[in-house]
Amino acid sequence: MMKTAARNTIHFLIALSLTAVIDSSSGYASPLQHVSVVVDTDEYNLTVFSMGVPVKIYQVAVGKPETPTPVGEWHVSDKQKNWGGGFGTRWIGLDVPWGTYGIHGTNKPFSIGQNMSNGCVRMHNKDVEDLYDWIQVGTTVTVIGHPLRHFRRLAVGDIGVNVWLVQSRLTSLGFYRGKIDGRFGLLTEQAVKDFERSNQLPVDGVVSLHDYHELGLEE
């Protein structure tokens, strides 16, 4: 309900603010300041904020169920033009620690509004060209949605948002003191074993449904 209210607020504020942001004589957006971005993976949209006010919303494609777009707060790590092919006309990289993820154009415009990517956020080329000009390296990009649609089994060698969330929870509980990087290594395995032992679970260092439940990550 809170997420729905937040989305409704964003849409309302956009309607109020667009007339102030868009130059009616030219049809192009005026320069934006203190830009941030929110991607809603459930609603397939990307909202651009200027000084905390939503000024533009775009429809996007996000990751497939088996390759989800990583939920969390990230920052723009690099910007590139004309990679071509499936990346379209612009690439905006994100600092997700366990892989290469970003916002980019596409040569498959029919995919917009669907779960069709390998984890990146796809935009129409004309839309990502606008976004590219508004943001800088370091711009905050917040991806919202349900991070754990699939409670996949986790063990040494696995990577992804599931691992990142497990590491975060184990850290807050005092079991994990390593880097929260979404990579399931030996330190993570030992932390899982310590947690399992403390909670009378089978001690195997593998995150199963019972571990998710005891960690409070099962909703």
Residues annotated as catalytic are 104, 120
149: enclosing H helix or E strand: none
Token pair belonging to 103: 């916002």
**At which residue do the structure tokens 């009378």 appear?**
200
Angle at 82 (CA atoms; ends 76, 83), nearest 5 degrees: 75
Q: How far apart are CA 44 and CA 131, in angstroms?
A: 16
Rounded to an integer, what distance in angstroms lies between the CA atom of residue 50 and that of residue 9?
A: 15
Task: Give the C-alpha separation, 19 to 51, whole Å.
Answer: 16
What angle do the packed helices 161-172 and 186-198 form, to 10 degrees? 50
* CB-based contact 45:57 (threshold 8 Å): yes
Q: For residue 29, which of 13, 43, 44, 14 has the smallest C-alpha distance? A: 14
